[in-house]
Chain A
Amino acid sequence: MTDTELRVSKIQSGTVIDHVSAGEALHVLKLLGIDGTGGTTVSLGMNVPSDRLGRKDVVKVEGRELSDSEAEVLSLIAPEATINIIRDYDVVEKRRVERPEEVGGVLVCPNRECITNAGEPVDPTFAVLDDGLRCEYCGEIVREDITAHLRD
């Protein structure tokens, strides 16, 4: 076990999201809908040294395994992330995140004139571009600060 891993406690079962871009850990929690009120045990390491990234964040979530759709959206804000599924203190699955072709239901379109912001029964859906996201309804392109558009 490395020094970095020792900075935050081991978990018995759940998910360790490693190699999150430095400073993005809180956005990862927001993406997962974790705000501290649900009782989920969470350990965070922020700006810890990383051979691969220089600095990185690590998020450990007790008692919860990330779904495939959560992993897809995670790729948008933490493209270098690795997901480790832990059961009884052992890593039973380890994978890199993969960018999907589109994501739906987790982001809000920043264009106030988009139909997805008009109270209609429609899930905002975004095509994933090489360098951003594009609303499938109004065409708005989001390149910067994607996490600012996560749905509450």
Chain B
Amino acid sequence: MRHDHLLTAKQLSRADIETVLDRAAAFDDDPEAASERYADTLLALCFFEPSTRTKMSFETAAKRLGGDVVDMGSVESSSVKKGESLADTVRVVEGYADGIVLRHPKQGAAKMASEHVDVPVVNAGDGAGHHPSQTLLDLYTIRERAGLDDISVGIMGDLKYGRTVHSLAHALTNFDVRQHFVSPESLRLPRSVRYDLHEAGAQVREHEDLEAVLPNLDVLYVTRIQRERFPDEDEYEEVAGEYRITPETLDAASDDLAVMHPLPRVDEISGAIDETENATYFEQAHNGVPVRMALLDLLLNDD
């Protein structure tokens, strides 16, 4: 893998993905193996939107590699509040750090930032756009649970605004994966993602009900249906219940079904699922550290 930045999952080939996942597996097996590799390396965390898992796992990954982080802090306490542009912010931060992890509410923000700096930029979520490092840990988790070829993956919830969904859908086109998208009509995949999947020749089906497709799935990737997206509360209530996973829902599923979620969840996965063999979301979150260690290792390494 040789990329200057990680901006979208679309830029990742199968070989790139396998390189990251293999290296992540090595770090997972032996977290101390690279503990001094990036001493004196500083990673800048620029989060213009709230984040818990992504931010902390990047911070943990940097420190596990022997490096450290500088954190922009909240937007409220930064120069952004004074009207500074993102372009200026990253140009300043470039002078402090060896790489920039950027989360921003505007789509395309990471790409624009990458055009203004010479250090690697990692897109840690750009509005409803992309979240490629999440996708790498999703793929790592899927590979561990089901393998990455000849599988059926259901992706359910808010497919329209869910950036993790968009990135995952793109990345899965590198593998022999049947993708089933389950959502209310109003939250279907955006046209741009459907266009890419079509161009990539992906095996894609869209559904409004989980029921018909659930028995055939190896993985069910659930995302939160975002109440705030609906113009009418009743309309939200009507569909939200249809997209909630309970033990009863899983009666029709394969015993081996891996239930995944990028987190945070609200009520779309019942707490009763947590203790089952199907629950994979906490393991998935844990995988964020070795995967981001591998990603940073590949992006920050000058060799």
Q: Which residues of A contact B (CB under 8 A)?
A: 111, 113-116, 118-122, 134-141
A139 CA to B192 CA, complexed, in Å: 6
Shortest distance in angstroms between A127's beta carbon and chain B's nearest beta carbon? 11
In the complex, are the beta carbons of B108 and A115 less than 8 A apart? yes
Candidates A113, A122, A134; contact of B192 at CB < 8 Å = A134
Complex: how many Å from CA A135 to CA B129? 12
Taking A115-B109, A122-B87, A138-B127 as known contacts, 9 extra A-B pairs with beta carbons closer than 8 A to each other, sorted by chain A number, are A113-B127, A115-B112, A118-B109, A120-B87, A121-B87, A139-B107, A139-B108, A139-B129, A141-B192
Q: Are A115 and B107 in contact (CB under 8 A)?
A: yes
The number of residue pairs between A and B whose CB atoms lie closer than 8 Å in the complex comes to 55
CB contacts (< 8 Å) of B107 on chain A: these are 111, 113-115, 137-139
Per-residue CB proximity of B99-116 to A under 8 Å, as 1/0?
Answer: 000001111110110010
Cβ of B195 within 8 Å of any chain A Cβ, yes or no, is yes
Classify the interface of chain A: helix, strand, loop or mixed.
loop
Q: Report how far A52 CA is from B175 CA in the complex, Å.
A: 47
Of B87, B111, B112, most buried by chain A (CB within 10 Å of CB) is B112
B82: Cβ under 8 A from any A Cβ: no
**A149 → chain B closest CB, angstroms:** 15
B191 in contact (CB, < 8 A): yes
Contact of A137 among B85, B108, B195 (CB under 8 A): B108
Q: B residues 227-284 with Cβ under 8 Å of A?
A: none
Whether A138 lies near B87 (C-beta < 8 A) is no
Contacts of A119 in B (CB 8 A): 85
Bound Cα distance from A116 to B87, whole angstroms: 12
Q: How far apart sit A134 and B112, CA to CA, in the bound complex (Å)?
A: 16
Interface residue ranges of B165-198 to A (CB < 8 Å): 191-193, 195
B128 within 8 A of A: yes
Residue of A nearest to B115 (CB): A122
Max chain B Cβ within 10 angstroms of own Cβ: one of A122, A134, A136 = A122
Determine if B86 is an interface residue (Cβ-Cβ < 8 Å): yes
Complex interface: chain B residues within 8 A of A113 (CB): 105-107, 127-128
- Residues from chain A with a CB closer than 8 A to the CB of B87 are 120-122
Cα distance, A134 to B195, chains bound together (Å): 11
Nearest first, the 3 closest Cβ-Cβ pairs linking A and B are A137-B108, A138-B107, A115-B108
Alpha-carbon gap, A136 to B241, bound state (A): 37
19 chain-A/chain-B pairs, Cβ below 8 angstroms: A114-B107, A114-B108, A115-B86, A115-B104, A115-B106, A115-B111, A115-B112, A118-B86, A119-B85, A120-B86, A120-B112, A121-B87, A122-B87, A135-B108, A138-B127, A139-B107, A139-B108, A139-B129, A141-B195
Given contact pairs A113-B106, A141-B192, A136 touches B111 in the complex (Cβ within 8 A): yes
Taking CB atoms, residues of chain A closer than 8 Å to B195 are: 134, 141
| B192 and A120 contact, CB distance less than 8 A | no
In the assembled complex, which residues on chain B have CB atoms less than 8 Å from the CB atom of A115? 86, 104, 106-109, 111-112, 126
A118 and B112 alpha carbons, distance in the complex (Å)? 11
A23 to chain B, nearest CB (A): 26
Q: Which residue of A lies closest to B86 (CB)?
A: A120
Shortest beta-carbon distance from B164 to chain A in Å: 15
- A122 partner residues in chain B, CB cutoff 8 A: 87, 112, 115
Q: A122: nearest residue on chain B (CB-CB)?
A: B112
**Residue of B105, B108, B127 with highest tally of chain A CB at under 10 A:** B108
Q: Write the nearest CB–CB distance from B235 to chain A, whole angstroms.
A: 22
Which residues of chain A are within 8 angstroms of B126 by Cβ–Cβ distance?
Answer: 115
Cα distance, A11 to B101, chains bound together (Å): 57
Partner of B85, one of A120, A139, A140: A120
List chain B residues, Cβ under 8 A from A114.
Answer: 106-108
A119–B129 Cα distance when bound, in Å, is 18
Measured CB to CB, the closest approach of chain B to A62, in angstroms, equals 39
CB distance from B106 to the nearest CB of A (A): 4
Contacts of A140 in B (CB 8 A): 192
Task: Find out whether the CB atom of B112 lies under 8 angstroms from the CB atom of A137.
Answer: yes
